[in-house]
Structure 1
């Protein structure tokens, strides 16, 4: 499912070293930014990815910038946010953290929460 998910969504990867630069980039000014924290072989991540692929048309309506980070490959980034369970979606606007969604609550609650942030 990971390959299918990342083919459907071309979410840019983000690392600890470049995090502040990307989150605060001019292209993201006044835009909602979501960082999807996931991991290989994470069953809950696979559920979230499958649902997001199945509902891609609706996800595409959410006007925001997406990044993704595999926390197993970037422990520093996971530590920065105190991540101990995945998947986690953390939202930012103008470089400030607005909140997070974890665990993945299903599509409708996810979509509704993100819509309110927009």
Structure 2
């Protein structure tokens, strides 16, 4: 995962080397963030797709990012195609629903 900040996000999204970007917004001492991280670390291969790039930011250290996306809670995941926001996954739905949501976005991109 590549670390970004609110000030660098637009430049990172402008890099379209990979067609889909997942932005993971989290914070320290956030139990649901820790659950999500643990799930992603325990089964890394489940969360790695060739055309997907991961970005992340600790919104407690970067409150401008939380403001930009109107966050009311974390973790929050935003899915982008280039700079266009495709969707949002709020909270941690569990590994299987998360994987299915990303794979639906990948399938939709492949159709277009």
| TM-score, structure 1 as length reference | 0.85
- The equivalent position to 1:68 in structure 2, one of 52, 56, 70, is 56
The 2-side partners of 1:61 and 1:35 are apart by 14
**Aligned residue number for residue 4 of structure 1:** none
Look up the SS of the partner of 1:27 in the other structure. Answer: coil
**Aligned residue number for residue 40 of structure 1:** 28
- The equivalent position to 1:58 in structure 2, one of 46, 49, 60, is 46
**Aligned residue number for residue 87 of structure 2:** 99
1:25-62 deviations in whole A, cap 9, x for unaligned? 2424xx10010000000000000011111111111236
Summarize the alignment of residues 26-37 of structure 1 with structure 2, pairs less than 5 Å apart. 26-28=16-18, 31-37=19-25
- List runs of 5+ in structure 2 lacking aligned partners: 107-112
CA, structure 1 residues 52+26, in 2 after alignment: closer, same or farther (shift >3 Å)?
A: closer
- List runs of 5+ in structure 1 lacking aligned partners: 1-10
**Aligned residue number for residue 110 of structure 2:** none
What's the RMSD between the two structures over aligned residues? Answer: 1.2
| TM-score, structure 2 as length reference | 0.89
Look up the SS of the partner of 1:61 in the other structure. Answer: coil
